[in-house]
Amino acid sequence: MRRRFVLPVGAAVLTVPIALIPAASASAAPADKPQVLSSWTQTSASSYNAWNAARQNQGAWAAYGFDWSTDYCSSSPDNPFGFPFQTACARHDFGYRNYKAAGTFSANKARVDSAFYEDLKRVCANYSGATRSACNGTAWTYYHAVDIFGYSAAEAGADKLKQAA
């Protein structure tokens, strides 16, 4: 049995199949949201570049409901010793916030952290000699901090509850 919806149009009545009426939940994210999120949180430079292009044109991605908010490098300097880590920190925040919202943070944390480290190393590749070594050492420290402290026990419990629901 096909359900139909009747729309009054002036003195006439128009009957439209329900399938032709837009879904009531127009705010539902596109079905490929998990794939897009994954493609923007890989370790490659192309993944970083795709995410950054989308970040510069967030309106084009509004239907996906991504959380673009960031506090950059949290309580650490955004540009330690003059190394511009701010954008790498923003992508890291993007991964954390969106995987937490999806309830799949624990399954993706290690990769998001690795992508962060690769982003930082790409920043450091722009330097040479002792400056590059200093940058790489700082990058490793930033990565190691998120690797260890980027996931609390409370978040782990909340993540498991979301996945079970």
Domain residue ranges in the chain: 30-164
Tell me how far apart the alpha carbons of residues 136 and 83 are, in angstroms, rounded to a whole number.
10
- Beta-bridge partner residues of 12: 9
Angle at 57 between CA 83 and CA 65, to 5 degrees: 105
Per CATH, the homologous superfamily of domain 30-164 is Phospholipase A2 domain (1.20.90.10)
Q: Is 92 a catalytic residue?
A: yes
Identified catalytic residue from 85, 91, 92, 93 = 92
Tell me how far apart the alpha carbons of residues 115 and 41 are, in angstroms, rounded to a whole number.
7
What's the whole-model pTM score? 0.78
Strands 4-9 and 12-17: antiparallel
Which helix (H) or strand (E) segment holds residue 155: the answer is: helix 153-164
- Beta-bridge partner residues of 8: 13
Q: pLDDT per position in the chain (165 positions), as tens? A: 444 434 344 444 444 443 433 443 456 899 999 999 999 999 999 999 999 999 999 999 999 999 999 999 999 999 999 999 999 999 999 999 999 999 999 999 999 999 999 999 999 999 999 999 999 999 999 999 999 988 754 454 455 555 555
